[in-house]
Amino acid sequence: MKLMHIATLQFVPLALLAAGCSDESPDAPPGDVTAQDVREQAGRTVDTAAAYADATVQEYRQAMQERIDSLNRDIQSLQDRVAGMSGEVKAEAEQAVDSLQRERDAFVERMSEIPESSAAAWSDIKAGLDRAWEDLNAARRSAMERFGG
């Protein structure tokens, strides 16, 4: 009985969704849809999905560029502080800044893959970029806490 209830709960919303997806009025005679109509609708659907994916990629790219700009300001701040340091602390800070810059450059290189990626590859690239950003941001926080004041 419980299984039947669960199956019903899953089926009813799908049936309601399918019934509400038509652009035609309920009075439209059945059988008036041609193969050409289906092809045209499918083409519009694909075009809409592609436009949405492009907009999503552009928004992501813009958000990441803003993060990189913020990171660049922090790197410059660290470089300014390092200039006033001396001895072993200065050497450690310079290494931390150099490492941060290399990680940033690698991240920017990975970001350059975005325009070349297909929609199918986008989710994999985005997941990889998100992980890389988290690593880069952790390195930034560590350097800022240790040498940023």
Name the residue ranges covered by the structural domains of the chain. 46-149
Candidates 113, 116, 123; CA nearest to 53 is 123
CA angle 88, 90, 92 (to 5 degrees): 70
Query: Could you tell me the pLDDT band of residue 121, with boundaries at 50, 70 and 90?
Result: confident
pLDDT tens column, 64-111: 999 999 999 999 999 999 999 999 999 999 999 999 999 999 999 988
pLDDT tens column, 4-42: 333 333 433 444 444 444 454 445 455 687 767 666 676
The C-alpha atoms of residue 94 and residue 103 are separated, in whole angstroms, by 14
Q: What is the pTM of this model?
A: 0.61
